[in-house]
Structure 1
Amino acid sequence: MIRPPRFWSDPQARVFPWLLSPLSALVRACAVKRQKKAGWKAPVPVLCCGNLTTGGTGKTTVVLDLVARLKKRSIAVHALTRGYGGSIKTATQVDLTRHSARDVGDEALLLAQVCPTWVGGDRAASARAAVAAGASCLIMDDGFQNPGLHKDISLLVVDGVVGLGNGHVLPAGPLRESPADALARASVVLLIGSDETDFLTQYEGVLPDVARADLQTGLEAQGLKGERCIAFAGLGRPSKFFDGLRQAGVNPVQCLAFPDHYFYKDRDMTHLATLARQADAQLVTTPKDTVRFPLAFRKQLRTVGVGLVWQNDSAPEALLDQLLNQRPA
């Protein structure tokens, strides 16, 4: 994924957004027209966890949290994802013994570690296959803008640090559609982290229900305190990972940022191994990055994940109650 232009994150930017505004108007019109299509209504409850911006907001972390909560309720939950970056385009169940990130994408591999997971651009086809395989509840990782599958509940995830960037629709800004259109369809907005862009104030009056949560660096970081390490990540916002390590008491001697969903090449692995050897340091990265490496190289890595901490733990349970009560699984 190409790094986004700087003006996307600058609300004061004027020139480029103005020049690109005709294209943005076209993108918005296409998005509105697309949403008029009626999606297939599955015979089981469907929750979509999506976002409004390009790049990472923590959707997969949210999905993993909700899957764990549903499994505690003994719900046969299956996950649906496009399989971004993978070569498989038709509805396929992820097989951890056979598929790699190049086949199904990195996020699908993470989801498949905790529940049956299906990839494919046709969400309705994936949903049909999942239901036929025994799913009693479906969670979509992304797909908020995809009308192919009816959603019973749509959870819109917003990164509190970056908010909605400059507020413009692609290509003038990072938004996939206009905030008004998206918020009108959202059941709940989940704001992750502190509201540094005053998102809640800016969109007060048009917001649906709002929940708050924070990302917490995994316990794996505890074993790295006092160790020399080199941190690297290929995420939508790698600095989020680096900052999380520091907040957990881990101070990398070097941090390397790669593009989101980046497939590491042989020269990258050689470079990383050389840096670690020269600095006498441990290589540290994220679960999403780890699954993009060959098994042999993973042995040289320490993986540190993140968990989701809801500010009100009753919020996700109420959300799931609402989901399951609409169409009992």
Structure 2
Amino acid sequence: MKAPGFWYQPAGPLAALLSPLACLYALGARRRQAKAAPQGAGIPVICVGNLVAGGAGKTPVAQAVMRALRARGVQAHYLSRGYGGRLTGPLRVDPAEHCAADVGDEPLLLSRTAPAWISADRLAGARAARDGGAQALVMDDGFQNPALAKDLSLLVVDGGAGFGNGHVIPAGPLREPLADGLARARAVVIVGADRTGAAVQVAGLAPTLPILTARLVPDAAVAAGLAGRPVLAFAGIGRPGKFFDTCRELGLTMTEALPFPDHHPYAEAEIARLVDRASALGAVPLTTEKDWVRLPAAYQTAIKALPVVLAFDDPAALDRVLGTVS
């Protein structure tokens, strides 16, 4: 699904027209949180979530949290709903057995670096992971899910998109009112240049909430291997333009830049045409890691992925926020 364009423009007549429905949506979100009785998993739970519908860069932040916990000797596991997969869990992702159609692209990607679990029932998944040896959990998404108690929540903001027009669904991209979400967070992580004034908005509503800034750094070896070679770039993520901007910043020559919907399930015939198109242009087909794990297995060797890692502007900032959670 692609977010409506007016969500990320100054609020206008359409947002105003939909504001009564947005009020009902916000009321429902508040009631859900107020009526909830979150239950613990018996181990620390760190949630990496966001406030808008669509992608914000949660997965690289979750990976950074995992690295920080593992550096402390904490045997943490990932927990995800498994969006886009057919299996409901709870189950531990096995990259040798499961594909993105089974468990979703994000859990499959995360399982490369640490044990990852999926479960439509987050509480059941958390307890299954605990029984499977997890000493802590890093949740990719799930901030609005009240069933599982969180020890610490980080809110991720895409610096290029911010909070959109500031309205709640369907008048804007917010899953709940901004102030409500900030009140349950321990810190905000802004990924990329803050082009929308998100930090100012956060500071105005939650002046004591730490704001961490970070950027996505492409893998240097892969980038060097692509230098001087034309690429056909494609991406089916929350904001494909971010990936294309990264390619431009690396100085890559893009013969074409093809956007797809977030979590797009690539069909074999579709990818065959894309590979043929790249070949005709003398270009390397290039995509994100999250897209690459959704590709038909027969075509993965023909398509290059550009890995990225999250780098904090203040390397010690995340450790300060995590504090003694372990």
1:29 corresponds in structure 2 to: 27
1:202 and 1:128 mapped to 2: Cα distance?
A: 36
Contact 1:222/1:248 (8 A) holds in 2: no
- Secondary structure class of the residue paired with 1:253: strand
Q: 1:9-53, CA deviations, whole angstroms, 9 ceiling, x for partnerless residues?
A: 012x32111121121111111111111202111221110000000
Moved more, 301-310 or 213-222: 213-222
Aligned residues: 322
- Runs of 4 or more, structure 1, over 3 Å off, are none
Length-normalised TM-score, structure 2: 0.96
| Aligned: 1:182 with 2:181 | yes
2:214 corresponds in structure 1 to: 213
Name the amino acid aligned to 1:316: L
1:197 corresponds in structure 2 to: 196
Deviation, 1:104, is: 0.5
1:223 corresponds in structure 2 to: 225
1:167 and 1:211 mapped to 2: Cα distance?
A: 21
- Secondary structure class of the residue paired with 2:28: helix
| Aligned: 1:64 with 2:66 | no
Q: How does 1:34-45 map to 2 (within 5 A)?
A: 34-36=32-34, 37-45=36-44
Q: 1:150-185, CA deviations, whole angstroms, 9 ceiling, x for partnerless residues?
A: 111110001111110011100111110000100111
- Secondary structure class of the residue paired with 1:79: strand
Deviation, 1:205, is: 3.2
Matching residue within 289, 294, 298 for 1:296: 298
1:263 corresponds in structure 2 to: 265
Q: How does 1:13-28 map to 2 (within 5 A)?
A: 13-28=11-26
2:321 corresponds in structure 1 to: 319
Length-normalised TM-score, structure 1: 0.95
Name the amino acid aligned to 1:313: P
1:45 and 1:215 mapped to 2: Cα distance?
A: 27
Name the amino acid aligned to 2:305: T
Contact 2:268/2:296 (8 A) holds in 1: no
Contact 1:215/1:306 (8 A) holds in 2: yes
1:183 and 1:261 mapped to 2: Cα distance?
A: 27
Q: How does 1:1-329 map to 2 (within 5 A)?
A: 2-11=1-10, 13-36=11-34, 37-207=36-206, 208-219=209-220, 220-324=222-326
Contact 1:217/1:245 (8 A) holds in 2: no
2:41 and 2:135 mapped to 1: Cα distance?
A: 10
1:288 and 1:193 mapped to 2: Cα distance?
A: 18
Q: 1:180-221, CA deviations, whole angstroms, 9 ceiling, x for partnerless residues?
A: 100111110111112111122233232211111111122211
Contact 2:7/2:164 (8 A) holds in 1: yes
1:121 and 1:33 mapped to 2: Cα distance?
A: 21
- Segments of structure 2 that go 5 or more residues without pairing to the other structure are none
Name the amino acid aligned to 1:210: I
2:3 and 2:191 mapped to 1: Cα distance?
A: 21
Deviation, 1:59, is: 0.3
Contact 1:233/1:256 (8 A) holds in 2: yes
Moved more, 119-128 or 267-276: 267-276
Q: 1:60-79, CA deviations, whole angstroms, 9 ceiling, x for partnerless residues?
A: 01111111222222211011
2:230 and 2:21 mapped to 1: Cα distance?
A: 48
Name the amino acid aligned to 2:271: M
Name the amino acid aligned to 2:29: A
1:113 and 1:199 mapped to 2: Cα distance?
A: 32
